[in-house]
Amino acid sequence: MRISTAALRQSDARMFTLVVEGLKAAGTRTAERCFTIPFSQMQATLRMINQQGGRLLSVTPADQASAAPTPEPASIAANAAPSPVTTPVKHEAVPVNLYKPKDPYIGTVLGNYSLLAEGAIGRVNHITFDLSEGNLHYVEGQSIGIIPDGVDSNGKPNKLRLYSIASTRHGDNLEAKTVSLCVRQLQYEKDGETINGVCSTFLCDIEPGAKVKITGPVGKEMLLPPDEDANVIMLATGTGIAPMRAYLRRMFDPGERAKNPGYQFRGKAWLIMGVPTTPNLLYEEDLQSYLSEFPDNFRYTKAISREQQNPSGGRMYIQDRVAEHGDEIFTMIEDPKTHVYMCGLRGMEPGIDEAMSKAAESKGLNWSELRPQLKKADRWHVETY
Ligand SMILES: Cc1cc2nc3c(=O)[nH]c(=O)nc-3n(C[C@H](O)[C@H](O)[C@H](O)COP(=O)(O)OP(=O)(O)OC[C@H]3O[C@@H](n4cnc5c(N)ncnc54)[C@H](O)[C@@H]3O)c2cc1C
């Protein structure tokens, strides 16, 4: 490698933007891609570029990256293509634990509105926090922690709860200074009394202008592959749509696409979404606009349990949709470019596993053998709670 990093050794905390071409991911080469990383991750990123046969075009301090970078030739030998089934996807540097519970980021609430239509069951809100002070940043698929005000039943300060980030790294207003969540208020009955979840109620009730303790970001399980030609199957129930909303915005929102010259999604994205009733569908307007703008790239299948029937006459759950489309899902999974994401309530896992087992069997495959292989290759992603 002929890249001198001497000029960059000013401070490990400084951010740099690397422009790379020809990265090989899942068998295809990408055009140009940008990585913005702290100097401390420079060596690891250069190694990843080398491993994926990429060619580094420039290294620029991040604050100068918007000015046209002068290409700095650097040849990196192209390596052999990674094995599609067993080689994990190489991701860009991912920020983790920038703010810890002892010294959380204090975010101001910018907005809090219901995502539900009239007649829906429960409460689900979209809540946005301002991040313009400090250095809290994240990528799609990560979560943040929220420490609700007040004390627990032992008189100790409330502990943090995790929430999947529902916005892209650029935030809903594309200025990279906000983070949004999709929160369902937990409510259950105990001894004839309605119990409200501490943090979810705190968030659903919160008013614009309020200050909230935020930690993180955390999580590397649900990262999107950098490959613009990947196929992404998303299985979501309820607020499990949060990370998928971020992926789909990154893939299809016109403002997002303009912000990401290195990520112009061209693969197939298929969202299979489970909710109890039609008014409980989340982000429906956005999803419909992606369907009309990108009909060849986006597919959207709904399982509306209290309104639709499965083939046995019972309620239509997400696993029934997975079973119905098992053949197509497996044909896609046979393609090494296909990644599957599952997010939502933990109870969705056994049903989906069963549906996948049956679909695998009909193709002569063994799901309990295949799933760990897909997991190892970073193609099977689960975050349930
Ligand atoms: C990685 C991750 C991502 C998450 N993302 C999201 C998200 O995007 N959106 C979202 O809304 N939530 C999400 N959650 C869940 C979230 O962290 C909280 O667990 C949830 O909001 C409930 O917290 P709470 O403080 O309101 O409830 P708490 O006051 O903490 O109450 C929860 C407790 O109530 C009890 N309980 C719950 N249900 C019942 C019942 N039916 N009967 C009896 N007892 C019961 C259990 O003991 C449970 O531990 C995520 C969790 C994880 C781990």
Residue 327 confidence (pLDDT): 94
pTM for the model: 0.81
Place of tokens 């997400």: 318
Residue 74 confidence (pLDDT): 28
φ, ψ of residue 383 in degrees (nearest 5): -140, 100
Is there a single domain that holds both residue 204 and residue 255? no
Determine whether 163 is an active site residue: yes
* DSSP SS3 for 252: helix
Which residues is 236 bridged to in the sheet?
A: 273, 343
In a domain, 356, yes or no: yes
Is there a single domain that holds both residue 235 and residue 363? yes
Residue 79 confidence (pLDDT): 30
Residue 349 confidence (pLDDT): 96
Going by CA atoms, what residue is nearest to atom 28 of ligand 1?
197
Among residues 342, 344, 345, 346, the alpha carbon closest in space to that of 356 is found at: 342
Ligand 1 atom index nearest CA of 242: 8
Q: Which of 157, 185, 218 is the last residue of a domain?
A: 218
Is there a single domain that holds both residue 246 and residue 345? yes
Residues within a 6 A CB radius of ligand 1: 143, 161-164, 182-184, 186, 188, 190, 197-201, 239, 242, 383, 385
Phi-psi region of 266 (alpha: psi -120 to 50; beta: other; left: phi over 0): alpha
Ligand 1 atom index nearest CA of 200: 26
In a domain, 223, yes or no: no
In a domain, 59, yes or no: yes
Determine whether 383 is an active site residue: yes
Is there a single domain that holds both residue 241 and residue 376? yes
Is there a single domain that holds both residue 119 and residue 145? yes
Ligand 1 atom index nearest CA of 124: 11
Residue 209 confidence (pLDDT): 98
Is there a single domain that holds both residue 243 and residue 351? yes
- Single out the catalytic residue among 58, 164, 200, 305: 164
Determine whether 317 is an active site residue: no
For residue 302, give Cα distances in angstroms to 193, 236, 307: 33, 10, 11
Burial of 239 (0-12, 13-18, 19+ CB in 10 A): buried
In a domain, 91, yes or no: no
Ligand 1 atom index nearest CA of 148: 25
Is there a single domain that holds both residue 109 and residue 78? no
Is there a single domain that holds both residue 266 and residue 332? yes
Enumerate residue ranges in the chain where pLDDT < 50: 1-11, 26-27, 65-86
Q: Where are the alpha helices (DSSP H) in the chain?
A: 42-51, 198-205, 241-252, 254-259, 284-293, 318-324, 326-333, 348-362, 367-376
The domain of 262 spans 231-384
Task: Return the CATH number at 250.
Answer: 3.40.50.80
Q: Which of 164, 197, 218 is the last residue of a domain?
A: 218
In a domain, 298, yes or no: yes
- Single out the catalytic residue among 138, 163, 283, 317: 163
Is there a single domain that holds both residue 204 and residue 131? yes
Ligand 1 atom index nearest CA of 197: 26
Pocket perturbation via mutation, ligand 1, pick of 162, 165, 187, 345 by most ligand atoms within 8 A of CB: 162
Is there a single domain that holds both residue 345 and residue 379? yes
In a domain, 325, yes or no: yes
Task: Return the CATH number at 211.
Answer: 2.40.30.10
Determine whether 300 is an active site residue: no
What's the CA-to-centroid distance between 120 and ligand 1, angstroms? Answer: 20
Going by CA atoms, what residue is nearest to atom 21 of ligand 1?
200
Residue 47 confidence (pLDDT): 74
Pocket perturbation via mutation, ligand 1, pick of 140, 147, 154, 163 by most ligand atoms within 8 A of CB: 163
Residue 321 confidence (pLDDT): 98
Is there a single domain that holds both residue 153 and residue 255? no
Q: Which of 188, 218, 248 is the last residue of a domain?
A: 218
Quote the number of domains for the chain: 3
What's the CA-to-centroid distance between 346 and ligand 1, angstroms? Answer: 11
- The model's pLDDT over 48-106, given as tens digits with 9 standing for 90+, comes to 777 777 777 777 766 554 333 333 222 222 232 333 344 677 777 899 999 999 999 99
Is there a single domain that holds both residue 246 and residue 379? yes
